[in-house]
Amino acid sequence: MRASLIQIGPDDNEPIDSRRERASSLVREQAGADLVVLPELWKTGAFAFQRFADEAEPLEGPTYEAMAKAARDTGVWLHAGSIPERDTDGTLYNTSLVFTPEGELAATYRKIHRFGFDRGEAVLMGAGKDLVTVPVPGTTLGLATCYDLRFPELFRGLVDLGAEVLVICAGWPERRAAHWSLLARARAVENQSYVLACGSAGTHAGVLQAGHSLVVDPWGEVLGEAGPGEEVLTVDIDVSRVATVREDFPALKDRVLGREG
């Protein structure tokens, strides 16, 4: 599987339609990839809390349409990052979208762990409730978003549902960049899974982003890592290595806590 992680960042002065077109163009440049991933809230900015309500859209809104077309035009599986979604009852969610190479919606994931403690996303957006996996040719993806990375039980749940490739879109801040790399490797090692962690570049509402998107293999080795700026990181992964690592070092079979029965 060839994965392309598109590490972009929103420009506060760029019109929304231009941001969508720029992201769509970058997706189309990844012809030949199997899976393309965009960052969390790339259209708005993960820390641009004051814009969440104004830039929220229904699930099948303009960003959905643009990303579906980009996936179809390019013939790739597309994890389109996340958008501020406005549900029919008015609740906002940080929602990821995954499209098939035909441009059909394969899955949505509403972020479960909202960042901000008693402010920002934590009070402005509702919490998702469901773990989400996506079967793709040859493997299964498990979906997570940014702050979710700090909660290992979520990822163990995804593995229990069959995930072999853990895909994380994020708007991770530069001041905690060391945690980003550490936690991505930890999630790979403890779950014996690939981790594809796509971060954001630039500055969101004054918060400098970490960048440094990375791909980690099931043994914890970093196969590729981006720099701090806008960049596309493309890495070929061998999904059969998940089964090999789990067979050669069957730590998951020795679990006691968290197993039913």
Cα–Cα dist 244/241, whole Å: 5
Pair 215, 226: CB distance under 8 Å: no
Active centre residues (catalytic): 40, 111, 146
Cα–Cα dist 43/35, whole Å: 20
Pair 252, 159: CB distance under 8 Å: yes
**32, exposed or middle or buried, with CB in 10 Å at 0-12, 13-18, 19+?**
exposed
Cα–Cα dist 261/259, whole Å: 7
Can you read off the two tokens belonging to residue 139? 């493997």
Q: How many CA atoms lie within 13 A of 203 on its CB side?
A: 5
Tokens 């197993």 belong to which residue?
Answer: 259
Q: Where does residue 120 fall: left (phi above 0), alpha (psi -120 to 50 degrees), or beta otherwise?
A: left
Cα–Cα dist 101/68, whole Å: 9
Cα–Cα dist 30/23, whole Å: 11
